[in-house]
Chain A
């Protein structure tokens, strides 16, 4: 049961069907992510899944369901730019994985939507922490081109994956070099050759199906990235690699490059800003955990914002399948280390939506936006805050998960035999 229908709401639906789909969230501090800024004691009106009004002086339509924020915060839902939700249920159990097609001969054509499971239990616990939309990333398999990722909402409903084949992922980090043939040089050579294969698709494949790097079916899949219809996300951390990526983007102006990782991105912040290359970045990572991340620092996020780089935050330092729910905590780290609160909050809401080309629908509270609204009992970036209501696409969501069921079962273990039958 993801959609919460209280008996009250049911009754309202019976009595006043015309306005049953109107929802008002009021009496809270509204963070709009628009020029309207923050509205103290504001309200958001939702109808048919979309936001119809945001303001401080809002009339409650007759029959509308009202969610009283009780002085808390009302914000757009969080948008996680890099997860493997719905692809991995248990990390160490490969039978529960669909993130990496490591033994497949296909590369760019891989489509994570084929493996996505909206019933994955971690989607529920992610929703509980205010994440309403997320990107689903494949893991690199047999080649550095990992395939195409998707965008999903956090309802856990069968139709929650709302956009497939939204970006192409390529591993251009140290590990990509190993995959491609032992060195970064192999990775770049492979990538350029693959791009040429796609640029000259289908002509090059008229008489045979092999290209220089990838075969016909993969080349066909790569075409949309080469034409800039979808972004090409490059995994990399080292500053030198990012400089190569900037040069690459200059060479192929049609390709929309995004850096994911970017532990040393702050060292090339100005160049990234000039090139208009966004970065999916984790403010938590600050250790030289490899020779690619020697310069990583908690100050990195604020440096990137200051330079004008488009930054979306991720949870790489936690994980991407169980703890994407910690996105707000990771944003709080950026603020503690100098990022403006507004920049940090956008980096987990509007900016990721913009990076994926859906910033006109998600990530802000404004008329016409999809009604992904979260009510919090305090500042959402504070570790002690939590959502009290989560609304996705205008629907109030359940805040019950497998974990809360376990909690409730064991909340009071006084009878050895009784508890296991209370469900």
Chain B
């Protein structure tokens, strides 16, 4: 007998069923039997986004120097925003009737900042015990947990990140576990609910971790206790996921052929890993050392999945060729290091060297303070790269906090660059974004002015800060 999902109508289930794409391609087109209504398929999106752009009018920003996020630096350029999207980019654009016109002469515009590594909401401020929701540090494999279920939308850190131009951010579980759980990509808007911040249709991600953290956390709790234990743990889990995926495929194939078969027992941990094997969930892996990254790339080949991004990747500069060959990105700090042995070989030129070596590279914060100055972190890395002789333009480096993280999150078709048709996620900076003294004057999400430095009344203030000393002061 087939169990059915009571909450879901058959048509919805068919549209959003987990693994449907793989299933359909196997069985061919249009050959689904009428008994499909009873075939068990699970909703891949049970906590759907309710994000709605803040209503906005027509806005024309004139005369700015525009870094488009994809390598362009356009002087004296206007940007027209309509219906929350970038409608036009060019010189001498005329303002439609009723448009609000912002004179940006002498100022700079970049795409909204995208941070691919944040723990806002899961390790919120204040960092009291009750708020420690980032690491399900009870077992080395917890692929079944989802960071979005820990996100506290009232984290005041979202407000300060917004004031720094961050329009999109990716919230990850911590790195205690080999498989830490799913990450979630958020729009940086005030919201009563996590769902109200969730980036519509952004792919899920899976946080994995190399090296010292898992073995430190589990070394005296049943393991893994060593790096070889870490690798064994990944392989065991991937093999289970591979078997699980196969059992579902066999089930769907048989059920679609009208056979009376029982579905496999659902396993939330393996659901997530199966999503990776199906190419629907992007692997975002915490990994510092070059030698470990190289082994993980072999592991990914063994089980036929893609590592989208290595996070922290303090030694990426030692292996840009290997990263490039595997089409794997590195998300790094400008100059953090020294806090553990695997971070000891941190160099300030990591980002520019990795970029110059042909790999996809980007900045990330992993910090509620660092997220407030990703432009400055890029500036430091860029200037250090130039001092060693690397020829990298300002416009190229802007991609490190805009388009590259957007690509690595699978949302580049929506944000991360200033191109017609994209979401109008923009930052108007008071000066060159690589100057210490530049601040975000205006921050737009989907064309709506969400932060205006000149208008303190407009500042977003999370619930926690109401009535506290410092309310509204960033």
Contacts and interface: CB of A to CB of B under 8 A. Distances in A.
Contacts, number: 136
A253 interface: no
A256 interface: no
B473 A289 contact: no
A170 interface: no
Interface string A255-272: 000000000100100000
B340 A384 contact: no
Interface string B365-399: 00011001100100110111001100000000000
Contact of A323 (B336, B388, B437, B468): B336
Contact of B335 (A89, A287, A323): A323
A410 B318 contact: yes
Interface stretch (B36-44, B124-132, B294-302): B124-132
Interface stretch (B18-26, B80-88, B344-352): B344-352
Interface stretch (A33-41, A191-199, A210-218, A295-303): A295-303
B153 interface: no
Given A287-B125, A289-B126, A413-B318, A295 B339 contact: no
A57 interface: no
Nearest to B386: A384
B439 interface: yes
A329 B380 contact: yes
A386 B339 CA distance: 24
A413 B340 contact: no
For B434, B436, B439, which residue has the most chain A Cβ atoms within 10 angstroms?
B436
Q: Is the interface of B mostly helix, strand, loop or mixed?
A: loop
B233 interface: no
Contacts of A385: 383
B71 to A, nearest CB: 19
Interface in A322-378: 322-323, 325-326, 329, 332-333, 335-337
Most buried by B among A332, A337, A383, A385: A383
A322 B337 contact: yes
A321 interface: yes
B317 interface: yes
Interface stretch (A43-51, A90-98, A143-151): A90-98
B346 A403 contact: yes
B73 interface: no
Contacts of A383: 376, 379-380, 383, 434-436
A152 B241 CA distance: 56
Interface string A290-319: 110111111100000000000000000101
A411 B341 CA distance: 22
A219 B126 CA distance: 37
Nearest to A291: B126
A417 interface: no
A297 B470 CA distance: 8
A181 interface: no
Contact of B369 (A89, A267, A284): A284
Nearest to B341: A90
Contact of A410 (B317, B340, B346): B317
B188 to A, nearest CB: 15
Given A290-B127, A333-B436, A384 B338 contact: no
B338 A322 contact: yes
Contacts of A285: 369
A91 B338 contact: yes
A322 B341 CA distance: 13
A121 B52 CA distance: 51
B157 to A, nearest CB: 6
B320 interface: yes
Interface of A: 89-93, 122, 239, 264, 267, 284-291, 293-299, 317, 319, 321-323, 325-326, 329, 332-333, 335-337, 379, 381-386, 403-404, 406-407, 410-411, 413
Interface of B: 125-128, 156-157, 160, 212, 216, 317-321, 335-341, 344-349, 353, 357, 368-369, 372-373, 376, 379-380, 382-384, 387-388, 434-439, 464-465, 468-470, 473-474
6 closest cross-chain pairs (CB), A and B: A295-B470, A332-B436, A322-B338, A91-B339, A92-B340, A295-B469
28 contacts: A89-B338, A90-B341, A93-B340, A122-B338, A285-B369, A286-B474, A288-B125, A288-B156, A289-B127, A290-B126, A291-B126, A294-B465, A295-B468, A295-B469, A317-B369, A332-B436, A333-B373, A336-B437, A336-B438, A383-B376, A383-B436, A384-B383, A384-B434, A406-B347, A410-B317, A410-B318, A413-B319, A413-B357
